[in-house]
Amino acid sequence: MSNHLTPLEVCERLIGKPETVAEASGLHKKSAFPWRHASKWREAGDLPSAKVMRALLAHSTARGLGLTADHLISGAEEAEIAEILAARQAGPAPAFTSRRVRAA
């Protein structure tokens, strides 16, 4: 059984609490709470505008949080987001270091 997350739920998992998501999008910290509910213009959990999506994507890219444009439009399966979070916990892959061999 899969669990599909809305774009807002993905942002909350990858970026943080609704207050953090709102501030990352350049809005007042309470702005994200109404996004949980449907309106005349969008479904529950959808983000309100392309401007918000661009700001969240830039925020994520600058911090290596793993959010993608597809997440902001379509949401994601919970397993996919769990993989991103697990990779973040593991940290960056160790850098390859080569030994220089001195010529004799």
DSSP, residue by residue, 27-57: S-TTTTGGGGS--SSS-TT--S-HHHHHHHH
Number of folded domains that form the chain = 1
Query: Which residue has tokens 């220089």?
Result: 100
Query: Which tokens sit at 31?
Result: 């702005």
Q: Is residue 57 part of a domain?
A: yes
pTM for the predicted model, two decimal places: 0.84
The dihedral built from the CA positions of residue 70, 73, 76 and 81, taken in this order, carries a sign that is: positive
Is residue 102 domain-resident? no
Task: Establish if 104 belongs to a structural domain.
Answer: no
Q: For 66, left (φ over 0), alpha (ψ -120 to 50), or beta? A: left
Residue 81, domain member (yes or no): yes
User: Is residue 95 situated within a structural domain?
Assistant: no
Give me the mean pLDDT over the 68-80 stretch. Answer: 97
Residue 102 pLDDT class (50, 70, 90 cuts): low
* pLDDT-above-90 percentage for the chain: 84
Instruction: Name the token pair of 28.
Output: 């007042």
Q: Is the pLDDT of residue 71 over 60?
A: yes
Report yes or no on 50 lying in a domain: yes
Q: Which of 78, 67, 77 is nearest to 25 (CA)?
A: 67
- Domain span at residue 15 reads 4-90
Judge whether 98 lies within some domain.
Answer: no
Decide if 26 is inside a domain: yes
